[in-house]
Amino acid sequence: MPSLATSVLAADTLVSGGFPRSKVDSNIVTINVGGQTFQSTKQTLALAGPNSVLSDLSDLHPSQIASRFIDRDPELFSILLSLLRTGNLPSKAKSFDLRDLISESEFYGIEPLLVNSLSDSSQFDAFNIEKSRLLELNGRDLPSVIAAGLHGSLHVAHGSKITSFDWSLRKKSTILTQFPAIDSLLAISSKSAAAGATDFSGLQIIGLEKGAVRATLNWENATKSASTVQAIGSSNDRLFTSFESSRRNSNCIMVYDLHTLRPVTEIAHFEIYGAEIDSAVPSTKLRWVPSVNLLMAAGSHHGLPGLTGNIRLWDVRSGKAVWEVKERADCFADVTVSDHLSAIFKVGESTGEVSYMDLRTLGNNEESWVCLREGRRLNGGKKEGFGCRIEGHGSQVFCSRGGGVELWSEIVMMESSYSNMTGDGLRGRVFRKNLIGRASDMGGAKISSLAFGGNKMFITRKDLQAVEVWESSASRL
């Protein structure tokens, strides 16, 4: 709350009384913007940052007061001045187009403040999101994978193209890639993304402005065959890529430096000999768990016994798997890890049930999934987990089932009251489920992917040539 700090400071100088009046006045800056006069304080204007026109102005000597003129639109400036004062956009901003506000904030160098007030991830309110709009894609290719970037920007791969939307979802650009289709996509910065495909060798770091390939990363496997990308993940400074040799006889996870793109190490390297199915399954999901410094890698395989898979937690530094679970019965259809909840969540392929494993108790004794029983069954029919997607975001876990999204959240209970309730003395965690959306938003085609960024949730659906945006109505502009 910048305004608070400023006003308190001003009050202090007044109350202490030792300052001559002119000194207090010199704190007030008068600016003429496009013919209208505005008054503010040096402190407020300083929030625009040292490179802004505004801080240049407040540094001017009082004798140059006539020079405090900015040749810009006064109405837009009044909105942005409110933003500087309060950190929030005033409600009259609703009568302006966001695109004008963005370009004006770029001029004053205060776009980050605008981003914070409109698309900060702290504004994401899982219980209060609703379907707000559909982002259209040109052409006929359906989105194959989506990746959310910083502050809710979005990259959508459709066919051989990637369309990127900026944080405001107002501007877009489309590039053409060398891939016939893209299966894995990760936003690296606002200007580049990593893309890979299961039928095209190499991981490409692609510039999103012109579509130029900045680097192609390949795994030099033993048979010298090309390698395809099965999954991409990242931490703050590392880029993880799950490769499989195109002969499908070896796989590994390569670790790169996220900034230099130089290879750091190679972990989870498996060469397949004989009929050992387990090592033949490349990881198709990579998630970094910052609190424990481990990488979750999971892969599954459709074989004679049905779907089988494994989930491992890797210590990237030592290159060792510190924990592993083999999925035989009710293998995961999708799995994710929530750092906030310190648990791995899966949705079982055959039962469709959501289960979790607590990260804090892993390796203690028998490791088993704790199934999240539902108090009420909304659709009494047969449950199937095939095609379900599960993703953790913040302190919630989102699981798509058919055309709907379930929200699982933990309820922290007073320990005594909980054991009284269950009566069995078991110490478990309490998770409860909600369905997201109003009745009018329910249904729709099967959800094919979920992504989260800024204060928004993004959904793609089967046969829908657009991306659905969900956000809370309060933060919408």
For binding to another protein (CB under 8 A), which residues are involved? 32, 34-36, 53, 56-57, 66-67, 69-73, 96-97, 99-100, 103-104, 106-107, 131-136, 138-141, 159-161, 163, 165, 169-178, 180-181, 204, 210-216, 441, 465-466, 468-469
Name the 3-class secondary structure at 10.
Answer: helix
Residue 299's Cβ-count burial label (10 Å; 0-12, 13-18, 19+) is buried
CB of 210 to another protein, least distance (A): 6
Distances (CA, A) of 172 to 24, 138, 160: 47, 11, 16
Nearer to another protein, 42 or 383 (CB): 42
CB of 185 to another protein, least distance (A): 17
**Which residues are CB-contacts of 458 (< 8 A; sequence separation ≥ 6)?**
146, 148, 154, 450, 451, 452, 467, 468, 469, 470
For residue 377 the two structure tokens come to 């069954």
DSSP 195-216: EEETTEEEEEEEETTT--EEEE
Provide, rounded to whole angstroms, the least separation between the CB of residue 204 and another protein: 8
CB of 219 to another protein, least distance (A): 16
217 or 313: CB nearest another protein: 217
21 versus 210: smaller Cβ distance to another protein = 210
Nearest distance, CB of residue 76 and another protein, angstroms: 8
User: Which lies closer to another protein via its Cβ, residue 131 or residue 301?
Assistant: 131
Residue closer to another protein (CB basis): 21 or 438? 438
Do 131 and 139 form a contact (C-beta atoms < 8 A)? no
Question: Which string of b and e fits 342-379 if b means at least 16 CB within 10 Å?
Answer: bbbbbbbbebbbbbbbebeebeeeeeebeebeeeeeee
What are the start-end ranges of the H helices in 337-408? none
Judge whether 194 and 186 are in contact, CB under 8 Å. yes
Closest distance of CB 60 from another protein, Å: 9
Query: From the CB of 153, what's the least distance to another protein, in Å?
Result: 11
Q: Which residue, 98 or 370, is less far from another protein as judged by CB?
A: 98
Closest residue by Cα to residue 456 from 170, 168, 88: 168
In the complex with another protein, the residue whose CB is nearer, 107 or 418, is 107
In whole angstroms, the minimum distance from the beta carbon of 134 to another protein comes to 4
Is the Cβ of residue 19 or residue 69 nearer to another protein in the bound state? Answer: 69
Quote the least distance from Cβ 50 to another protein, whole Å.
13
Give SS3 for 76.
helix
Neighbours of 186 (CB within 10 A): 24
Sheet containing 389-393: which strands, arranged edge to edge? 389-393, 396-401, 404-411, 430-435
Q: How far is the C-alpha of 186 from the C-alpha of 64, rounded, in Å?
A: 50
Question: Which lies closer to another protein via its Cβ, residue 66 or residue 412?
Answer: 66
